[in-house]
Amino acid sequence: MTIFQRWVRNSGFTNQVKGRNKPNVPPFEEAPDYEGNLNRALAYFSNTVGLSDDYMVRVTQVNGRSAVCLFVNTICDSTVIEKTLNALHVHRFPRKEPKNLPQYLIERVFIGSDAVFMENLYEIREALTEGSLVFLIDGASSAIVIGATYVEHRAPQEPYIETSSRGSQVSFVENVDVNVGLLRRNLTTDSLVVKHVKVGYRTRRKVAIAFVRDVANPTLVETVVKRIDAIHIGAVDDAAAVEQRISDHPWSLFPMTRTTQRIDNAVREVNQGKVCIMVDGDPTVLLAPATLQDFFQTQEDFQHPWWEATAVRWLRIISFFFAVYLPALYVAFVDFNPELLPKVMALQIAESREHVPFPAVLEVFIMMLVVEILREATLRMPRQMGQTIGIVGGLVVGQAAVEAGIVSNVLIIVISLTSISVFVSPSYEFAICLRLGSWAMVIAATIVGFYGVVLLTIWIWYEVANLKSFGVSYLDPFGGEYVRDTFVDGIIRLPITVLDKRASHLRPIDEVGGVDTKLPLTHPQLDKSRRTSRYSRGRKS
């Protein structure tokens, strides 16, 4: 355990209870059951969900008994409501009343509907707020709950964060049920298991946990389910709220789960043995566990030849070092250790800074701050204007700063290359990590020059080596234990025919990913001509 981790633990920040107020939320077991008392149930709902103006009550008769139909009209499908009530009114009940009237209604009247029995009033109230249609019959022991939720959602579109030149161009959407369907459509196997958990005692956000039961490690699945089930907060707005609460290291700069909007990325990672976490209302899904290697790979790597994919991965690695170290090395070499530079380069840098009134560190801080401002402005502005403002703003500000003598020409090149290298990473969360790491390196270089960069690098890699994501080391497979994962599908991506095993560092149940057979026709054109000649000889004879 590092010094920082020990301080965080002793301070009580990782304790979910110490020094914090517990929410006063009665468990659903304390809520009364229906037990056939219609008036008491209506009074219960009137004091809770009935305080809202979109809460509707329709009084009706079911085989001579008093009954009510409860629903929230803003999220309930009106077609399902009218169809259900019409089926109830036109049905001819037998003269002798059925022994179990709710069971009779589901089997004979509400045919084809998604109907279940519920007895606890808290669960019925929760179903109401989710858009279900509730039937309460006086004297019946249970209520009938019919699924009728209707909420507008957008159709699957091209992902706006992770773009690619090949492969699937369909992304997840905000509806978790649609996302589960998209995942099943692309991973059509009965081994795909989906578990649903509701999180947030006010929002009751639906969370879907998907995994392949005969591939994913059972301990990993159990850990993910228990951590999500243990979340006890008022509101869960998106996947980030879940991600930060199930992370092993919430104080870490590095992301502990991988996020994606692409269906092909999720399908491949789930098939490798990872767990996919989908939160209703968020088009971004979480993939656990995550290692450092995951942020240098993408599904597009497997849609190109192995040599091209390997070259792109090395390009991402080089861009990683550019994004983190270039501004810091500029400060270290210019202000502290210029003797380490080649003589010609040192003279050129000195000539470009001849009329600059600021030290190199202030020069770097000014330009990095300008880049961050332009980046945030581009992100928040309308899409039609954002790209133009980013390009024009960068050119105008950079050219004006050089002509005014505030910064040097060499620094403009350094900052531009750094800004571009940040987004070579396929993960936006990891790109933010690179941006913050670049600032930290500049501060270290400002204090003790090149030695500060080296010392901070050693400390960061020491911290990274202590990180774990759901029991998997963050540096796997580069730790030395999984050499095959490093050189087969790591820093090198060999041909597809060699990738016959899943990643061992994920500890899957089934490590065999696939076995290719020998090509049946080595020279198909030669075989075709041979068969033609035999056929021709047969006809002549």
Last residue of a domain, one of 455, 473, 491: 473
216 occurs within a structural domain: yes
521 occurs within a structural domain: no
Find the domain containing 84 and state its range.
28-151
Out of 30-39, 146-155, 191-200, 496-505, the most confident range is: 191-200
Q: Are both 286 and 400 inside the same structural domain? A: no
- Among 155-169, 188-202, 216-230, 346-360, the least confident range: 155-169
What is residue 174's DSSP assignment? Answer: S
CA distance 207 to 199: 7
Out of 5-19, 72-86, 163-177, the most confident range is: 72-86
Q: Mind listing the pLDDT tens digit for each residue in 458-509?
A: 999 999 989 999 989 898 888 777 888 888 888 888 888 788 788 888 888 8
The strand pair at 205-212 and 258-260 is best described as: unpaired
Q: Are both 341 and 452 inside the same structural domain? A: yes
Q: Are both 199 and 283 inside the same structural domain? A: yes
How many Cβ atoms from other residues are within 10 Å of residue 226's Cβ?
A: 10
265 occurs within a structural domain: yes
Residue 13: is its pLDDT beyond 50? no
Q: Are both 250 and 106 inside the same structural domain? A: no
Last residue of a domain, one of 151, 167, 198: 151
Q: Are both 276 and 320 inside the same structural domain? A: no
Q: Mind listing the pLDDT tens digit for each residue in 331-387?
A: 999 888 888 888 888 888 888 888 778 888 888 898 888 888 888 877 777 666 656
CA distance 274 to 427: 17
Q: Are both 184 and 130 inside the same structural domain? A: no
Q: What percent of the chain has pLDDT over 90?
A: 24
Residue 536: is its pLDDT beyond 70? no
Q: Are both 417 and 309 inside the same structural domain? A: yes
> What rounded mean pLDDT belongs to the chain?
83
What is the model's pLDDT at position 65? 86
- The total number of structural domains that make up the chain: 3
Q: How confident is the model at residue 11 (pLDDT cuts 50, 70, 90)?
A: low
530 occurs within a structural domain: no
CB of 220 within 8 A of CB of 206? no
User: For the chain, first and last CA: distance in Å?
Assistant: 86
Q: Are both 275 and 328 inside the same structural domain? A: no
169 occurs within a structural domain: no
CB of 474 within 8 A of CB of 248? no
Q: Are both 336 and 391 inside the same structural domain? A: yes
Q: Mind listing the pLDDT tens digit for each residue in 31-87?
A: 788 888 888 889 888 888 888 888 999 998 888 888 999 999 888 888 888 888 888
Q: Are both 309 and 253 inside the same structural domain? A: no
Q: Mind listing the pLDDT tens digit for each residue in 433-457?
A: 999 999 999 999 999 889 999 999 9
| pTM recorded for the entire structure | 0.82
